[in-house]
Amino acid sequence: MKRMMAWVVILTLAQVACGADGPTTATRPATAPAAGAAHTDDEFLAHVQKIAKAHPDYAVLVQKPFVIAGNDTPQNVRNSGIATVKWTVDHLKKDFFEKDPVEIIDIYLYKDKPTYDAANKVFFLGAPDTPYGYYSPTYKALVMNISTGGGTLVHEIVHPFMSANFPECPTWFNEGLASLYEQSMDKDGHIWGLPNWRLTDLKDNLRGTAPAAEGGVPAFKKLCAMDATTFYGVGKSPNYGTARYLLLYLQERNVLPQFYKDFVKNKKTDPTGYQTLTATLAGLGEKDMDAFRKKWEAWVLGLKYP
């Protein structure tokens, strides 16, 4: 009982400190909400209790629309989780997403690689294919090795929001936007992506010095048309890099949020986003895609990281 009270205290503190404002069960029935609808406080409390029962040694707390659980001290879980999650959610919703994920999504923060690897074997059916973290729609969870930093956490938060707001989103834009914010900052109240580690490999591919097996940098039209199997295949690294730095370019020209809105609006007639991309670039005076490609490549090669 004392342990359960501690969890409830953590929950209450998280709600107060982070400005929880969802309606209570007195004003909204505790049924499965529609996309964008708020879950009740009682639903969050029941969810916290469920996780706490399954993981009695974890600190568990709420940062809506997520529940965060970690195997470090409550204060460390709060420090490494709440600030990053709240900042990311607030900024993403400001520029891109209107709806919260339909279901409560869990964020598991593991303090180091051994406990991250062990948890994946015990709770998530197998060793992960990444040492950093991932989003699992099956488990409705983001599973993170938080010792590697918060960039992957920001990346993975994008995916459940994209699923709720743009379920038809092709892989290139989903991963491009998520990877854009792996390294980011606040700029005048907006989330702003910065050059990151993906730049080195992209430059190598543009220069032809990367391993031939990577397949080179895809044309924009080909990138937009890729299904998930192709995007994550042998050319995964340059595919990620091309998507990320194409969106970084749109960000630098202050048209990225509007491109997203136009893409969503045009999704039935332009499911890959390529027509919307060409129209967006035409609005910037880039009416020749071959000429723009050369300009973009030169721009990428001029970027620096770190």
CB atoms inside a 10 Å sphere around CB 277: 23
Name residue 174's amino acid.
Answer: N
Alpha carbon 55 to chain centroid, angstroms? 25
Q: What angle do CA 151, 99, 17 make, to 5 degrees?
A: 60
Q: What angle do CA 200, 274, 220 make, to 5 degrees?
A: 30
Dihedral sign for Cα 234, 238, 241, 242, please. Answer: negative
Compute the 3-state secondary structure of the chain and give helix, strand, coil in percent, each to the nearest 5.
Answer: 55, 10, 35
For residues 167 and 116, what is the distance between their CA atoms, to the nearest angstrom?
A: 29
Domain limits, the chain: 2-165, 184-302
**Domain 2-165 classification at class level:** alpha beta
Name residue 256's amino acid.
Answer: L
Q: CA separation (Å) from 209 to 24, 204, 229, 237, 242?
A: 58, 5, 25, 14, 16
Cβ-contact 214, 237 below 8 angstroms: yes
The tens-digit pLDDT sequence of the chain (306 residues) is 333 333 433 443 333 233 222 222 222 223 344 454 588 999 999 999 999 999 999 999 999 999 999 999 999 999 888 889 999 999 999 999 999 999 999 999 999 999 999 999 999 987 778 999 999 999 999 999 999 999 999 999 999 999 999 999 999 999 999 999 999 999 999 999 999 999 999 999 999 998 888 889 999 999 999 999 999 999 999 999 999 999 999 999 999 999 999 999 999 999 999 999 999 999 999 999 999 999 999 999 999 998
Alpha carbon 114 to chain centroid, angstroms? 24
